[in-house]
């Protein structure tokens, strides 16, 4: 027995000495090998990424930061939009608004101790930079080359209209970063219940910032079901996490107005949409709805928004404020009848509005006043003239504890105006970005199927795997963000911009390497 143990010990000693000789020889070879300007790497060495690995993105990110700094120097403290004043009122007097959910107002209230709309603009610019960072990190995690991932983030970081939108006191930048962050979590390598909970909370915050976020909950739930191969745990956790804040807000809304919902203007906005095509001679509405008809041919009617805000609108002329429960219900009934009576006209109206997202140039729409809010101005904009906005301006002065008018400082403002004339993502390019992911994914699937069939000597089903379909989530989300506003209200240029980072991310993911091969 002792002799056997001694033999085993000698064998182990000889093996250890042999391993030590091989290792020292390897070290000697590495020491004698010329470095060629780079430190040698041992097998299995996982060197952390250096700044050089991200040089393309750091260049784009730095340029985006400079643009935002110049904007803040040129337009102080921020730029105003008609909706801005309502948001400020809700921030200082917290209660649900009938037209817009209060998520962005709570963002303003969070920053209210600073008493500075310049601080709000700075926070929004940082959120805009964060959108670009999220796009880049998600693409790199998918195996996309550094230059390609940086290119995918460039529209969010360098488009002049994105920068201008961040400087406006509106909800779109906050909404965009919430949705992009939810997409980032949804395509992460590991999908745990904590990740699903985070996705749900982000989507709830997005919904309470802009109601267009509500349909996205269904989109993300379908994706989580697909990722989990039909198992409902992740999707169920996400839906619960999204539902609870929204339902809580709904309780607050009901306690304030004795109405169900999170806003009280859905019927009014849908009515304004249908007035682009509604023909009462075809609809044959009952008398209570007939008062909302417009005898003018659709080609001679004003933009859809005028049916909500113009004093000449038949809806506005009804007794009480426009967004009472009775008026909203009446408008919703009219819109429903119009869609049922003229479904093809409704579809044509949605498509024609959607097509405005994909023009090469940027024609004035819906009118010169609204269009002008999306341009860096050359002169200080006048103070608000409508009564609700004048009240909001008083609240804004309390928020700022001083004057709120925009001060234009040259030459910085002039630099941004010139930049805006030259650098933007044309709508036609956005259309190409949206068309490429499904086309490339289809081509990859056919090649994989052909290869599987050749390997098996016959027909075979090729399943690219859940990871290779990760492009579909940001792609469907981008399409939904583009389609929903023209379907329920009207097209607006600022509604297009939050979809751009998601569309670029989808294209980057579909062109990357096999994505998360071991997704559970």
Name which of 157, 139, 156, 138 is nearest 148 in CA terms.
Answer: 139
Do 178 and 209 form a contact (C-beta atoms < 8 A)?
yes
Structure tokens at 483: 């389609």
The pLDDT-based confidence of 190 (bands split at 50, 70, 90) is: confident
Quote the pLDDT of residue 27.
41
Name which of 92, 63, 243 is nearest 163 in CA terms.
Answer: 63
What's the distance, CA 265 to chain centroid?
A: 23
In 3-state terms, the chain is what percent helix, strand and coil (to 5)?
A: 65, 0, 30
Percent over 90 (pLDDT), the chain: 65
Rounded (10°) angle between helices 146-158 and 160-167: 50
341: helix, coil or strand? helix
Query: Is the predicted pLDDT of residue 198 greater than 60, yes or no?
Result: yes
Do 476 and 219 form a contact (C-beta atoms < 8 A)?
yes
Quote the pLDDT of residue 61.
96
- Between CA 14 and CA 512 the distance in angstroms is 48
> What one-character-per-residue DSSP string does 438-453 give?
HHHHHHHHHHHHHHHH
> What one-character-per-residue DSSP string does 388-424 give?
HHHHHHHHHHHHHTS--PPEE-TTHHHHHHHHHHH--
The mean-pLDDT minimum among 34-48, 304-318, 328-342 falls in 34-48
Quote the pLDDT of residue 4.
54
Query: Is the predicted pLDDT of residue 516 greater than 50, yes or no?
Result: no
The mean-pLDDT minimum among 153-167, 351-365, 416-430, 435-449 falls in 435-449
Residue 61: φ, ψ to 5°: -65, -40
Cα dihedral angle (293, 294, 299, 303), rounded to 10 degrees?
A: -90
Do 306 and 344 form a contact (C-beta atoms < 8 A)?
no
The mean-pLDDT minimum among 1-10, 306-315, 359-368 falls in 1-10
- Between CA 266 and CA 248 the distance in angstroms is 19
Structure tokens at 265: 């203007």
Average pLDDT (485-491) is 93
Tokens 């609870």 locate to 244
pTM of the model: 0.86
- Between CA 202 and CA 180 the distance in angstroms is 9
Number of other CB atoms surrounding residue 409 within 10 Å: 12
Residues 6+ apart with CB under 8 A from 136: 57, 61, 149, 150, 152, 153
Length of the chain: 520
Indicate the DSSP class of residue 168: B
Structure tokens at 337: 């009848």
Query: Is the predicted pLDDT of residue 510 greater than 80, yes or no?
Result: yes
Q: Summarize pLDDT for 46-103 with one digit per residue, the tens.
A: 555 666 778 899 999 999 999 999 999 999 999 999 899 999 999 999 999 999 999 9
Residue 75: φ, ψ to 5°: -130, 105
- Between CA 462 and CA 452 the distance in angstroms is 6
Q: Summarize pLDDT for 317-364 with one digit per residue, the tens.
A: 888 778 888 999 999 999 999 999 999 999 999 999 999 999 999 999
Please provide the average confidence, as pLDDT, over all residues in the chain: 86
Report the DSSP pairing between strands 75-76 and 407-408.
antiparallel
Residue 408: φ, ψ to 5°: -100, 120
Residue 511: φ, ψ to 5°: -100, 0
């Amino acid at each position: 027995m002792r002799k056997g143990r001694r033999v085993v010990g000698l064998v182990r000693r000889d093996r250890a000495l042999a391993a030590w000789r091989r290792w020292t020889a390897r070290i000697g070879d590495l020491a004698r090998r010329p470095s060629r300007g780079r430190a040698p790497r041992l097998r299995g060495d996982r060197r952390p990424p250096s700044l050089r690995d991200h040089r393309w993105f750091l260049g784009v990110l730095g340029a985006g930061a400079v643009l935002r700094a110049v904007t803040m120097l040129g337009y102080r403290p921020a730029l105003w939009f008609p909706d801005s004043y309502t948001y400020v009122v809700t921030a200082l007097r917290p209660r649900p608004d009938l037209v817009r959910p209060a998520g962005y107002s709570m963002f303003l209230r969070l920053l209210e101790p600073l008493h500075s709309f310049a601080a709000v603009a700075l926070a929004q610019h940082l959120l805009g930079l964060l959108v670009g960072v999220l796009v880049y990190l998600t693409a790199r995690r998918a195996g996309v080359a550094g230059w390609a991932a940086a290119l995918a983030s460039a529209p969010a970081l360098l488009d002049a209209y994105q920068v201008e939108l961040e400087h406006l006191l509106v909800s779109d930048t906050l909404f965009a970063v919430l949705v992009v962050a939810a997409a980032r979590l949804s395509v992460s390598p590991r999908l745990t219940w904590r990740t699903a909970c985070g996705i749900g909370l982000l989507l709830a915050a997005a919904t309470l910032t802009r109601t267009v976020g509500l349909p996205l909950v269904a989109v993300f739930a379908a994706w989580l079901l697909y990722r989990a191969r039909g198992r409902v745990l992740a999707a169920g956790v996400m839906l619960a996490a999204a539902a609870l804040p929204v339902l809580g807000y709904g309780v607050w809304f009901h306690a304030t107005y004795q109405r169900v919902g999170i806003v009280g203007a859905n019927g009014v906005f849908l009515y304004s949409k249908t007035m682009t095509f509604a023909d009462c001679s075809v609809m044959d509405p009952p008398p209570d709805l007939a008062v909302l008809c417009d005898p003018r041919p659709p080609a001679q009617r004003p933009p859809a928004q005028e049916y909500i805000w113009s004093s000449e609108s038949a809806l506005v002329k009804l007794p009480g404020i426009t967004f009472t429960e009775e008026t909203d219900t009446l408008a919703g009934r009219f819109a429903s009848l119009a869609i049922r009576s003229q479904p093809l006209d409704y579809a044509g109206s949605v498509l024609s509005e959607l097509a405005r997202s994909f023009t090469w140039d940027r024609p004035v729409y819906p009118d010169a006043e609204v269009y002008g809010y999306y341009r860096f101005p050359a002169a200080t904009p006048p103070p608000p003239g409508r009564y609700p906005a004048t009240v909001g301006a008083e609240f804004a002065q309390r928020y700022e504890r001083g004057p709120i008018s925009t001060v234009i400082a040259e030459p910085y403002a002039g630099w941004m105006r010139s930049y805006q004339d030259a650098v933007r993502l044309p709508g036609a390019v956005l259309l190409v970005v949206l068309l490429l992911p499904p086309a490339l994914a289809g081509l990859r699937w056919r090649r994989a199927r052909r290869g599987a069939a050749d390997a098996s000597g016959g027909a075979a089903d090729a399943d690219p795997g859940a990871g290779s379909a990760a492009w579909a989530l940001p792609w469907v989300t981008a399409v939904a963000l583009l389609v929903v506003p023209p379907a329920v209200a009207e097209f607006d240029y600022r509604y297009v911009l939050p979809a751009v980072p998601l569309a670029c991310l989808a294209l980057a993911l579909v062109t990357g390497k096999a994505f998360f091969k071991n997704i559970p």
